[in-house]
Amino acid sequence: MTHDHVRIFDTTMRDGEQSPGAAMTMADKIEIARQLDAMGVDVIEAGFPAASNGDFESVRAVGAVLENAVLCGLSRAGPKDIERCAEAIKSAKRFRIHTFISTSPIHRKHKLNMEAHQVLDAVTASVTLARKFTDDVEWSAEDATRTERDFLKRCVEAAIRAGATTINIPDTVGYSFPDEYRDLFRDLIQSVPGADKAIFSAHCHNDLGLAVANSIAAVQGGARQIECAVNGLGERAGNAALEEIVMAFRVRGADLPYQTNIDSPQLMRVSQTVARVTGFPVQFNKAIVGKNAFSHESGIHQDGMLKHTETYEIMRPEDVGQGATSLVMGKLSGRHAFKKKLEELGYTLADNALNDAFQRFKELCDRKRHVFDEDIVALVDDQIAHGDDAIQVSRLRVVAGTEGPQTAEIDLTINGEPVWKTARGNGPVDAIFNAIKEAAPHEADLELYQVHAVTEGTDAQAIVSVRLSADGRSASARASDADTLVASARAYVAALNRLNALGSARISAQHSAA
Ligand code: KIV
Ligand code: ZN
């Protein structure tokens, strides 16, 4: 059976970043973009250049590192947005302008305050202008699935006539059912004049938990591009999860005659990078990339697995990059073996960074009986994420237990200057966060505090996630350590650093002793 190519359009850094608290720095975006590119993603939507200077610069920086993927920037229908987008994307070898306008009656009336004929004119004008900058123009009908069918067809026809080469039909509010969405694509492709000149694209939100099912149905209806995000990140309930779509086509290839370019063993690594930089942990039972996606707990399942893995597994963990938990080296392992291990895990560190990581690895070996691959990944990811932060935790001492009040004493380095503070709290974590607030006063509110163990056992490293918000923006971060309280302090400080980088925390160092 011949398999049609379905383009994977990744929007983790645009629609994904629109999740409150998932803001990414330019360095984060570059790291994710390199991994998506290496994994075989066809189009990478790196941001919305007209939204802010930060977004503009990030899109530009991502473009400069892409080897194969097409760089895409989002733009509203106005000329200023389109021109700004065109300026940002030209850093890439291959680039696309993605321009959109709402088409549904509810959006036309309440969001745009425009009549249908004005929207139609804007479609032609925006695509015509975008085509002046590139031959690769995508046009989207925002809220397409709640748009009158005839009007949607007129808009799609106008966009194609003006030169759009990709037509995206988003289920913006996650309202569709698979049958409806598939039939919508069939109808548009069969009846819109000029439809054969464009690639149709699906873009589904997960409000009813149907984003992946709808995306696959769209392909059955004729779509040949799917817009999706790693870990299903995105507005509200998220976008369709990239890893689930890729594996659905791979596992059910006999029934779904479509293929993607994605090298699926890289899925896990990208998933972990996105989780780390956004601070959005992957739920344990998440399909494909969840920690438990390949664990078999019940006796009956384990027995079946031992006899023949296919009794309960439709794909192998290694197909998605989930390695079996393996015991790595201990305190006697040398720097060379450690370097080799890192390379096996996909990390190449420069000499200084390698020395730091090795030092932390040795410290971990002193504190933890068994060190697993996951521990090393957590340790190195943590170092990559926080090595250059303006505020760093140098030392922490906590008094906790039944005899309150709990107190924390913390040494921070803020822009190279040491600051020491002590504070009490309602429990040790509260005391730590209060001490940080004393040392680095700020207005941020704590929105989320979560602890996960990296591996099994009471000596497991803890990964702590913290989300802070200030001035209507939020930032999340994670940190890991064998001591949950140290990880908590470092995660809080890391979130503060991110908020600061976004210009929302207004931190000042408080000198002197408490
Ligand atoms: O969900 C949506 O409609 C979008 C468009 C901007 C493509 O994200
Ligand atoms: Zn969207």
pLDDT exceeds 80 at position 283: yes
**Binding site membership of 172 for ligand 1 (Cβ less than 6 Å):** yes
Q: Coil, helix or strand for 505? A: coil
Say which ligand is closest to the CA of 239. Answer: 2
User: Which ligand sits nearest to residue 228's alpha carbon?
Assistant: 2
Alpha carbon of 170 to ligand 1 centroid (Å): 6
With a 6 A CB cut-off, is 170 part of the ligand 1 pocket? yes
Tens digit of each residue's pLDDT (9 = 90 or more) over 144-170: 999 999 999 999 999 999 999 999 999
Q: What pTM, to 2 d.p., does this model score? A: 0.80
Total Cβ atoms within 10 A of residue 310: 11
Across all residues in the chain, what is the average pLDDT? 90
Identify whether the C-beta of residue 240 lies closer than 8 Å to the C-beta of residue 212: yes
Give, as residue ranges, everything with CB less than 5 Å from ion ligand 2: 15
* Higher pLDDT pick, 345 / 292: 292
User: What does each C-alpha distance from 411 to 31, 117, 218, 255, 396 come to in angstroms?
Assistant: 30, 63, 55, 60, 6
**Closest ligand 1 atom to Cα of 168:** 7
35 lines ligand 1 (CB under 6 A): no
234: Cβ below 6 Å to ligand 1? no
Quick check: CB of 140 below 6 Å from ligand 1? yes
Task: Out of 147, 172, 228, give the residue to mutate to test ligand 1, the one with the largest number of ligand atoms within 8 Å of its CB.
Answer: 172
Give pLDDT tens digits for 163-198.
999 999 999 999 999 999 999 999 999 999 999 999
User: What does the pLDDT average to over 98-109?
Assistant: 98
Q: Residue whose CA is closest, atom 2 of ligand 1?
A: 172
pLDDT for the residue numbered 413 = 92
Q: Average pLDDT for residues 211-220, to the nearest whole number?
A: 98
Quick check: CB of 100 below 6 Å from ligand 1? yes
Three-state helix/strand/coil letters over 418-485: EEEEEEEECCHHHHHHHHHHHHCCCCCEEEEEEEEECCCCCCCCEEEEEEEEECCEEEEEEEEECCHH
Cβ-contact 293, 285 below 8 angstroms = yes
Tell me the CA distances in angstroms from 458 to 452, 463, 488, one per residue in order: 12, 13, 17
Q: How far is the CA of 168 from the centre of ligand 2 (A)?
A: 11
Contact 428 CB / ligand 1 (< 6 Å): no
Confidence at residue 113, expressed as pLDDT on a 0 to 100 scale: 97
Provide the residue type at 472 as one letter: G
